A = this chain, B = another copy of it.
Amino acid sequence: MPNPTAAALIIGDEILTGRTREGNGHFLAGVLAQTGIDLKEIRVIGDDHATIVAAVRELAAGHDHLFTSGGIGPTHDDITADAVADAFGATISIRDDAYAILAAHYATTGMEFNAARQRMARIPAGARLIDNPVSAAPGFSLGNTYVMAGVPNIFQAMVASVLPTLTGGKPLISLSLRVMQAESSVAQAFGALAARMPDISMGSYPFVKDGAYGTNLVVRGTDAARVEAGHAQLRALFPEGQ
C-alpha cells in the first residue's frame, strides 16, 4: 500500500519579495518523511484571496493532506482563514470555543481582548481547532486541509498537535555516503547501480570543500533491507567513502 501524499502551501508576500527565507516547508518535509507521508509539492504564494482559494482547491483535491502556513494572525493581511472557507464552500464567523480560548489567554496576560484579537476566533463552519500552546490563537483543519500559523515556533507546535491525528505509512529511510570525487566522476557507476535497483531512490549532491570536489550519494526508500542493500553496494563501489 503506497504512503499517503501531502502538499504544503506557504502563504505570504514577505517570502516572495525576499524579505523572509521560508523554513516551515523544510521543517514539515523532515517531519512527514519520518511519518511516512510523501510530500509531493511545496508551493509559496502571496497574500491574494483568489490565488489562495485556487491553490487550496487544487492541492487539497490532488493530495491526501494539505498543510498551509501563514496568514491566520490578527492583521488586515491575514486572509487565509476566509480563503480556505471559500475554497471549501464553508461559511466563516467567530466561533465560541475559539473565542473562549482567546478570551482566557488575554485575561491571563492582562492584554485587552480587542477586535483584532477577536478576529483570530474566526473559524470556518465544520472545522476542528488545532491547539496552539505558544500564543493560544488556534489553527484549524477543514476537510483534509490543516491551516497553521506562519511564525516558525507556532507552526512547529501546531504540527506537533496535528501529527498524532494522521495515519502515516512507512517512514522514509535515507543512508548516505560521502565521496571525495566530483559528481561527474561517480555518475556512471552510480547511475548503473540505480538502474540495477529501480525500487529504491538514489540521488547525488555535489559540494566543494577546501577547494576539493565531493559528492554525497544518498539511497532512500521505505524498505529498510533494500535501502541497506543499496548502501552496501554503494560502499563496495566507493570503498573510500564515509
Stretch at the interface among A159-167, A203-211, A224-232: A203-211
The CA of A12 and the CA of B77, in the complex, are separated in Å by: 32
Q: How far is the CB of A112 from chain B (nearest CB, A)?
A: 8
Among the listed B27, B115, B151, B188, which residue makes an inter-chain contact with A206, where contact means beta carbons less than 8 Å apart?
A: B151
With A74-B183, A77-B194 known, 4 other A-B pairs at CB within 8 A are: A17-B33, A20-B205, A42-B43, A73-B206
Contact between chains at A184 and B73 (CB < 8 Å)? yes
Q: Which of A44, A47, A117 has the most CB of B within 10 A?
A: A44
* Known contacts A73-B204, A220-B13, A187 near B116 by CB under 8 Å: yes
Q: Considering only CB atoms, which chain B residue lies closest to A206 in the complex? A: B151
Contact between chains at A77 and B204 (CB < 8 Å)? yes
Contact between chains at B44 and A41 (CB < 8 Å)? yes
Q: Does A179 contact B (CB under 8 A)?
A: no
Q: Considering only CB atoms, which chain B residue lies closest to A73 in the complex? A: B183
* Known contacts A29-B16, A203-B14, A187 near B75 by CB under 8 Å: yes
Which residues of B are found within 8 Å of A19, using beta-carbon distances? 174, 205, 218
Contact between chains at A120 and B73 (CB < 8 Å)? no
The CA of A17 and the CA of B35, in the complex, are separated in Å by: 11
* Known contacts A17-B29, A182-B111, A220-B17, A76 near B191 by CB under 8 Å: yes
Interface size on A, residues (CB 8 A): 64
Interface of A is mostly: mixed
Among the listed B17, B31, B184, which residue makes an inter-chain contact with A116, where contact means beta carbons less than 8 Å apart?
A: B184
The CA of A98 and the CA of B138, in the complex, are separated in Å by: 54
Binding site for B on A (CB under 8 A): 12-23, 25-27, 29-33, 39-47, 51, 73-77, 111, 114-117, 119-120, 151, 172, 174, 182-188, 190-191, 194-195, 201-206, 218, 220
Which residues of B are found within 8 Å of A116, using beta-carbon distances? 184-185, 187-188, 191
Contact between chains at B44 and A25 (CB < 8 Å)? yes
